[in-house]
């Protein structure tokens, strides 16, 4: 592993390149909602790959330490729940009990996906939380060889799940349910595995990575063109890997600020936009954007940063060492 990769592995939880990629992702999402940018939803795909890369790396580095589960879930709860509960308190949704359990897809499948609802942005959080329930168990219980196989299995089956959801489930279920996003989430985890030396054959991994995109293209040509998420997942994995290994990270620094405040920006940017919606696009976007940024800064200073610091003290995790990484990479 190169010195650059090793340094990134050790510092990834507070990495400027990762923060900048988060900033790029949230900028794309806001550009979509505020200014009608056609490809803005690529930011969501980038978020999922980043999540798999970051969370997968954290879990891989800590799975042999005491407090593996309590540290991970404690930190995640303090990071995610306060602002999430604040959103639900300000805008109580129908079937709110399902929202508290991150199971809002259950009533959505029955009554339809409320895409116009301001709390609909939580569909990504629901997928993330379900992912957080599964991944720590997989990494903790499985040896390296089987972990890699399961991850690749999830990636290869993701297009199949989307085809089935598209054929038999209502609305656009294929993009709002966890199985249809596994190529992005597990793709990020595999990048973390690759950085730690889990790959035995780069050629084999490259060939496997090409299978889902080719399947999506073949399905679109022969049956119906409705999604190319595997292609998007592949591109986002490349972006994350290049961003993580960039030799001049200062080029990405303009995106660090929104990257570190992306959570509150994501949850509340549509709430702010809704207040100014009558002004019309793009005027509403230009008015709402600085207000959303100001609220994100207040949220970061008053809520998020203090809770992150508290979580670091409360759930202290020993720093990884090069020997620790080598040891994990050689485990079968």
Series of mean pLDDT values for 10-residue runs along the chain (332 residues): 37 71 96 92 96 96 92 95 96 94 94 92 96 96 96 96 90 91 97 95 96 91 80 95 82 88 96 84 87 97 95 70 33 35
Query: pTM (2 decimals)?
Result: 0.89
pLDDT of residue 222: 81
pLDDT of residue 8: 36
Cβ–Cβ < 8 Å for 136, 108: no
Domain ranges across the chain: 3-329
């Amino acid at each position: 592993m190169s010195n650059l990769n090793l340094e990134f592995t050790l510092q990834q939880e507070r990495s400027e390149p990762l923060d900048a990629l988060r900033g790029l992702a949230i900028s794309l999402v806001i550009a979509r909602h505020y200014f009608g940018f056609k490809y803005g939803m690529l930011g969501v795909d980038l978020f999922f790959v980043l999540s798999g890369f970051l969370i997968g790396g954290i879990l891989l580095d800590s799975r042999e330490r005491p407090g593996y589960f309590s540290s991970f879930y404690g930190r995640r709860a303090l990071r995610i729940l306060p602002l999430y509960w604040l959103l639900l308190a300000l805008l109580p949704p129908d079937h709110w009990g399902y929202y508290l359990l991150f199971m809002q897809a259950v009533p959505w499948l029955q009554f339809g996906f409320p895409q116009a609802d301001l709390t609909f942005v939580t569909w990504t959080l629901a997928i993330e939380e379900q992912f957080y329930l599964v991944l720590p168990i997989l990494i903790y219980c499985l040896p390296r060889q089987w972990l890699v196989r399961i991850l690749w299995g999830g990636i290869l089956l993701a297009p199949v799940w989307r085809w089935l959801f598209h054929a038999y489930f209502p609305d656009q279920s294929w993009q709002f349910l966890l199985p249809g996003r596994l190529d992005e989430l597990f793709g990020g985890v595999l990048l973390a595995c690759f950085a730690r030396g889990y790959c035995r054959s780069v050629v084999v991994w490259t060939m496997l990575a090409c299978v889902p995109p080719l399947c999506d293209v073949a399905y679109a040509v022969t049956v119906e063109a409705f999604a190319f998420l595997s292609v998007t997942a592949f591109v986002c994995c490349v972006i994350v890997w290049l961003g993580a290994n960039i030799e001049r990270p200062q080029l990405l620094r303009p995106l660090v600020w929104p990257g570190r405040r992306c959570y509150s920006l994501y949850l509340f940017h549509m709430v702010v936009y809704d207040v100014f919606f009558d002004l019309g696009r793009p005027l509403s976007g230009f008015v709402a954007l600085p207000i959303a940024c100001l609220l994100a800064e207040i949220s970061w200073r008053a809520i998020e940063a203090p809770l992150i610091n508290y979580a670091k003290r409360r759930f202290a995790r020993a720093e990884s060492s090069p020997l620790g990484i080598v040891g994990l990479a050689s485990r079968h």
